[in-house]
Amino acid sequence: MAKIGKRTRSGREGIDPENLYSLEDALKLVKDRAKAKFDETVEFVINLGVDPRHADQMVRGVCVLPNGTGKSVRVAVFARGDKADEAKAAGADVVGAEELVEQVQSGTIDFDRCIATPDMMPLVGRLGKILGPRGMMPNPKVGTVTQDVASAVSDAKGGAVEFRVEKAGIVHGGIGKASFDEALLAANIRAFTDAVIKAKPAGAKGSYIKRMALSSTMGPGVRVDPSSVLQA
C-alpha cells in the first residue's frame, strides 16, 4: 500500500470522503487546507451523464467567470490589418499573421490563449498538431474564431474558462484562487455550472449532472452536494 505523506494525511483530516457537503462548507474546507507557499488554484469538477464517445453527447463551451480566475493570461491573436490593430488596442500580448504562424512552428509559444479571425484559419490550421494538444486551437464553438477580436481578448483576459468533457464524462475548470473570498468563488462556480448546463447536448439521456467536487492545487478533494450549487 502506498505511503501517505504527512501533508496529505493532515489535509484529509476532518473531511468525510463519503459526505456531500454544501457548496459553502466545501469551499471553507478547501480554503482552510490550501497551505502551499503559492496561491493555489481552486478546481471544480462535474461528472456528467454523457458518453463523449458519441458525437451527439459532446459537451464543450466557454464561461466568463464573473470574478475572474486570478491568473494573468497572455493572449495571442492571429489577424491582419484593422483586426490586428483592434486586438492590440484591446490588450492582446502577441498579434500577427504569417510571421506568428512561423514563430509557433519554430517552437516559440509565449502565450496561454489563442484567438483568430475566420480568414486566418487556413493558415492557423497548419498549427493543429502544435496548438491542439495544448488546448489552444482557436474554435468558433468557444468564441476564439471571431471577427470581434476585441471582445474575445477582453473575455480571455477577464476570466474566460474553456471546458470540454473528457472520456469519463468529466468537465473541470480552475474557478479562482484560494485567496479569493468564498462568496466570489461560489459565484464563479455557479456561473461555470450554468454554462455547462446550457451546453447540454441533444443526445444526453437521463440525469445530466451526476456528481461535483472541489479541490485546491495541493489539497484533498471534497464532494459537493449538487443541489446546493443549483439552488441559487
pLDDT digits (tens, 9 = 90+) for 133-157: 988 999 998 889 999 999 999 988 8
Answer yes or no: are the C-beta atoms of 192 and 175 closer than 8 Å: yes
Specify if 29 maps to a domain. yes
First and final CA of the chain: distance in angstroms? 42
Specify if 11 maps to a domain. no
E strands within the chain? 41-48, 60-64, 75-78, 94-96, 113-116, 160-164, 170-177, 209-216, 222-224
Domain count, the chain: 2
For the chain, which residues score pLDDT lower than 70? 1-14, 231-232
Q: Distance (Å, rounded) from C-alpha 35 to C-alpha 55?
A: 41
Give the distance from CA 64 to its chain's centroid: 9
Specify if 6 maps to a domain. no
> What is the per-residue pLDDT across 162-191, written as a single tens digit (0 to 9) for each?
899 998 899 999 999 999 999 999 999 999
- pTM check: above 0.85: no
Same domain for 48 and 86?
A: no
Specify if 176 maps to a domain. yes
Q: Which domain holds residue 175?
A: 16-69+160-230
Specify if 58 maps to a domain. yes
Same domain for 81 and 151?
A: yes
The single-letter DSSP state of residue 125 is G
Which cell goes with 204? 444526453
Same domain for 92 and 134?
A: yes
Instruction: Indicate the residue among 157, 182, 209 that finishes a domain.
Output: 157
Give the distance from CA 41 to its chain's centroid: 11
Instruction: Indicate the residue among 102, 122, 157 that finishes a domain.
Output: 157
Same domain for 65 and 106?
A: no
Residue 85 dihedral angles phi and psi, to the nearest 5°:
-65, -40
